[in-house]
Structure 1
Amino acid sequence: MVGPACAPDRPPSAALSRSHLNGAALPATDQNRVSCEGPTDLLESYRPTSFFLSSPRGPLLADAPLHRLASVDTASAALSRASENNVLFGALPFDGSQPPQLGLGAVVRLPAPLTVHQEIAAPVPIGADTSWAWEEPDDTLYKEAVRAVIKRIGQGEVDKVVLARAIDLTADRDIEVGDILRALVTAEPDAYSFAVDLGDRTLVGASPELLVSVHNGRATANPLAGSAPRHPDPVLDRIQATQLLESAKDQREHQVVVDAVADALAPLCRELETPARPALSRTRTMWHLSSRVTAVPREGVTALDLARALHPTPAVCGQPTGAARQAIRELEASPRGFYSGMVGWTDTRGDGEWVVSIRCGEVRGKSLRLFAGAGIVAGSTPEGEAAETRAKLRTMLLACGAIEATS
């Protein structure tokens, strides 16, 4: 889907030195500042080489980067030397030993301060004339891997492991990432919908999980851990949510993640607050236990610094991290790549927003690989975790039109 670009906000003589994204000042030159009616217009300007990230605070669209950056250290150094109209954006993979996909760009399109709810009302899947070839995931191998993790937990080798799985779909034509983005933003207006050009493929998804944001000297992390599928019946849906909130197993799993987030942020922050109990967070397909951790970063600490310190949290890896990583390497059938990594941006002031790249897939021509994972802890069952991954896969299956909302 390709549409007209947004029109320039005003001529250069208007002397605007800054524009505002998500309520935070984001450097931009007059020539590069663009005003749009809202996220719908921003999506119309999306191109295959663009970077797109929407959030409840507003969306960002950056054109192809002026500079590709080979490592996170290189990116941090480049950002510290950049002029104020530059923004660092891109994605980091799950495995930190693999190269990131980061760019430094000067052209950033910004929307007017309207919410997604004001702009988009109903889910719009991609073209109904697209045909998909795919098979329902076979639970056998995944359940065997879950059993192997449960055994390791019982032997005291590890406390938690997040096991992921992947499924492959093939369309009868080249897949338009912009169409999937529109469907995701429509169906999941409170999620963090994103698209990142990875060179030979595109990462696209709608994550429910904020890794960290920094705005006006305040940092916020919003770890999610402990999940339950949504139910189409409102009464049963509320029962499932209540059961999740009262589940001792899920509460333990969640607290492990919150403690890890607090421990990672503490050395880089002057103040830190964590909630006493998690709250419920919902997407179109899932309920999650959610905690908002707030902090005040130390002088000179950027959003990217905090994101690097946090990644990967036990919500996507496990605990202890080393043992969980080893289990993931041995038991997962498909390499994760950028799934369960992070996607986001940081400006020259240190403000920014990074999200966990889950509920996502990779588009390559006519092919789409989707990922989903579940946290295995004491009390987990192979059947329950397999069902959870199936529910999580529905976010992208619905967005691309491979399944119906009633299925």
Structure 2
Amino acid sequence: MTAPYAAFATAGRTLAAGPGSRRLPAGRSGDAGWADAVLSTLARSPGVAYAIGALGFRPDAPATALLADPSRSTVEPCGPVRYAWSAPTEVPPRAGYADAVRTAVDRLATDPALSKVVLGRWLELTCAGDPEPAHLLAALAARHPSAYVFGVPLERGAGYLLGASPELLVGRRGRRVRSTPLAGSIPRAADPVEDRIRADLLRDSAKDRHEHALVVDAVAEALGPLCRRLDVPARPALVRTDTMWHLASPVAGELREVGPATSALRLAQLLHPTPAVCGTPRDAAYRLIEELEPADRGPLTGAVGWLDAAGDGDWAVTIRAGLLHGRELRLFAGAGIVPGSDPGAEVAETGAKLATMLAAVGAAAPRPAEAAVVA
């Protein structure tokens, strides 16, 4: 296996840090001092244009950043992925996940302090050979040219984080700042007519529009005090990926001041985690997630992106993602649970989201569950 490199690719641009790139001292994901240290290191590093990094789901999770090696600026193309993977192990099984959703819905009904929680489940796979991180990254870039495609080697022993996120947490260029929160989703259909019907159902769903509004309000509340102007759409738009329809609201504003406190990385720390991956209120959602999810998410549903010496950058939400440890691959997907959420629908939604990464790495999806399991 060759040494993995870091990359963050968007439509028309790829930023990469080669295997020999300098790794900055690890920090904590919610530590503003660490973010400022990354920025100041960039300012003192002639010839280094940017850093690529990743934040974990929780503020005390490890954060990593690498200074870019300008010798690599593309994700190398590759042929089709042909690795042999084991049948995925579901953690928890679909029935267990449906039970967790029911528990969350009950808690939402009895706890007036809790409005939404995002619950996830994992798939765990083993490869018969040695999967090359660069090969998997190239496969993701080829399949998802409009997504935020990323690969980041984490701290020693923590694995390789990779994925193709459809969601921009925050982007900054000078005073201009933007965020495109996604919340409210429905799996796509193979038949074009049925697919359009599903999109219309999502657009008109009071439950999904409520879920979406919680996220947009949180983004606007966080960015508003920092901006002299902030434009928030009155209605969400429909955005599609290969497996999902999402409600999306492009939020854009103009910062009052530009400096270390408003670098793209500091703004990512301010916004993360939004109710789209955690819930609201944040602390109550964290507690319920810890109670109901069987494992720590680590870097999954964190944030990943790049930062330059001026403080500009783009940070995406670490969704449609996986964590590779040697031959072991762990995939994660979550769904927003609000009053009225249906356990069977949330099982289907997370299954559709997991299909993005399964297809990219050339693995088969788990066999469909019996309807009675999640009813």
TM-score, normalised relative to structure 2 = 0.88
* 2:312 equivalent to 1:354: no
* Runs of 4+ in structure 1 over 6 Å off: none
Which residue number corresponds to residue 295 of structure 1? 253
- Structure 2 distance, partners of 1:165, 1:99, is 21
**After superposition, where does 1:38-57 map in structure 2 within 5 Å?**
47-48=3-4, 50-57=5-12
The secondary structure found in structure 1 opposite 2:214 is helix
Percent identity reads 48
Which residue number corresponds to residue 266 of structure 1? 224
- Structure 1 distance, partners of 2:192, 2:235, is 24
Deviation at 1:108, TM superposition (A): 6.2
The secondary structure found in structure 1 opposite 2:299 is coil
Structure 2 CA distance for partners of 1:195 and 1:303, relative to 1, 3 Å: same
Deviation at 1:299, TM superposition (A): 2.2
Which residue number corresponds to residue 130 of structure 1? 84
The secondary structure found in structure 2 opposite 1:372 is strand
Which residue number corresponds to residue 256 of structure 1? 214
* 2:336 equivalent to 1:391: no
**After superposition, where does 1:8-407 map in structure 2 within 5 Å?**
47-48=3-4, 50-63=5-18, 64-71=20-27, 72=31, 73-80=33-40, 81-83=43-45, 85-86=47-48, 87-105=50-68, 107=70, 109-110=72-73, 125-127=80-82, 130-135=84-89, 138-155=93-110, 156-198=112-154, 199-200=156-157, 201-297=159-255, 298-300=257-259, 301-403=262-364
- Structure 2 distance, partners of 1:124, 1:241, is 33
Contact persistence 1:213–1:303 (CA under 8 A): yes
Structure 2 CA distance for partners of 1:240 and 1:84, relative to 1, 3 Å: farther
Letter in 1 for 2:178: T
Structure 2 CA distance for partners of 1:318 and 1:108, relative to 1, 3 Å: farther
Deviation at 1:378, TM superposition (A): 1.2
CA RMSD of the aligned region, Å?
Answer: 2.2
Deviation at 1:401, TM superposition (A): 1.0
Structure 2 CA distance for partners of 1:57 and 1:305, relative to 1, 3 Å: farther
- Structure 1 distance, partners of 2:225, 2:72, is 34
Deviation at 1:186, TM superposition (A): 1.6
- Structure 2 distance, partners of 1:206, 1:239, is 26
Letter in 1 for 2:39: L
Q: Deviations over 1:68-116 (max 9, x none)?
A: 22225234224224235332221010011122112334536446xxxx9
- Structure 1 distance, partners of 2:288, 2:79, is 39
Letter in 2 for 1:402: A
Which segments of 5 or more consecutive residues in structure 1 lack a partner in the other structure?
3-46
Which residue number corresponds to residue 373 of structure 2? none
- Structure 2 distance, partners of 1:269, 1:69, is 31
The secondary structure found in structure 2 opposite 1:304 is helix
Deviation at 1:333, TM superposition (A): 0.9
After TM superposition, the structure 1 stretch with the greater mean CA deviation from structure 2, 84-93 or 384-393, is 84-93
Structure 2 CA distance for partners of 1:374 and 1:337, relative to 1, 3 Å: same
After TM superposition, the structure 1 stretch with the greater mean CA deviation from structure 2, 176-185 or 159-168, is 176-185
Aligned length: 351
Letter in 2 for 1:159: S
- Structure 2 distance, partners of 1:104, 1:271, is 33
Structure 2 CA distance for partners of 1:231 and 1:78, relative to 1, 3 Å: closer
Deviation at 1:308, TM superposition (A): 0.9
Which residue number corresponds to residue 371 of structure 2? none
Which segments of 5 or more consecutive residues in structure 2 lack a partner in the other structure?
369-375
The secondary structure found in structure 2 opposite 1:387 is helix
Contact persistence 2:178–2:253 (CA under 8 A): yes
Structure 2 CA distance for partners of 1:294 and 1:108, relative to 1, 3 Å: farther
Name the structure, 1 or 2, with higher relative contact order (CA <8 Å, separation 6+).
2
Which residue number corresponds to residue 31 of structure 1? none
The secondary structure found in structure 2 opposite 1:140 is helix
- Structure 1 distance, partners of 2:12, 2:224, is 25
- Structure 2 distance, partners of 1:131, 1:332, is 25
- Structure 1 distance, partners of 2:23, 2:139, is 30
TM-score, normalised relative to structure 1 = 0.81
The secondary structure found in structure 1 opposite 2:129 is coil
Structure 2 CA distance for partners of 1:339 and 1:131, relative to 1, 3 Å: closer
The secondary structure found in structure 2 opposite 1:353 is strand
- Structure 2 distance, partners of 1:57, 1:293, is 22
Letter in 2 for 1:95: R
Contact persistence 2:170–2:316 (CA under 8 A): yes
Deviation at 1:57, TM superposition (A): 4.5
Deviation at 1:176, TM superposition (A): 1.5
Deviation at 1:267, TM superposition (A): 2.4
Contact persistence 2:235–2:249 (CA under 8 A): yes
Letter in 2 for 1:184: L
